[in-house]
Amino acid sequence: MITKEKIWVAFDHGNILYGFNKLSSDRINYITLKEIVLGGRKSEKNIVYTGISPSKGNFSKRKSRNNFYTFLEKNDFEINTIPVKILPNGSYKQKGVDVNLALDCLAYAYEDQYDHLILVSGDGDFAPLVKWLIKLNKTVEVWAFQGSISPRLSKILGYRNLNFLDGEIDKLKLKR
């Protein structure tokens, strides 16, 4: 009996934007991004992990962000937000998003919720997660921009399941 492989996709929004913004000033098309990383396969979950700033401030920015989240949810994405930390100088710093993503992926791996994780991030903080998932016999595939891939992460994968998005930049630009 052939069983269907359960695929989950975890998007590290901050890392994706960091890599994308080095190559383009446009907005990124998450629908196309999901299609590219899946390559015709079907996923059971698509989760976007992101920091969220406090609700005070610019109304149009908040409305735009909320519209973006609503759009993603209507297109088969789950949104996992973590409040950003406000630094003493008043600026914001995203904290805890990577830990939340890693804990979710590890916990759900132990529960055997998926067989194959597509991690859309080049952040080296995920190196221990990838090691553990491999020990748990999960297939891990990483997609990132070359300017945002950590050597720690690429070393673990040995470029076997490491894919770069740089060649897809024109497809990833949101058409207005």
List, for residues 79-125, the tens digit of each pLDDT value. 998 887 777 887 777 778 999 999 999 999 999 999 999 999 999 99
Is the pTM higher than 0.85? The answer reads yes
CA distances from 150 to 104, 124, 135 (A): 21, 5, 20
Determine the average pLDDT of the residues in 60-64: 69
Domain map (residue ranges) of the chain? 7-172
The one-letter amino acid at 176: R
Can you give the pLDDT at residue 20? 93
| C-alpha R_g of the chain | 16
Is the domain spanning 7-172 CATH 3.40.50.1010? The answer is yes
Determine the average pLDDT of the residues in 150-162: 88
Round to whole Å and give the CA distance between 117 and 130.
Answer: 9
CA distances from 94 to 49, 79, 97, 122, 147 (A): 11, 16, 7, 16, 19
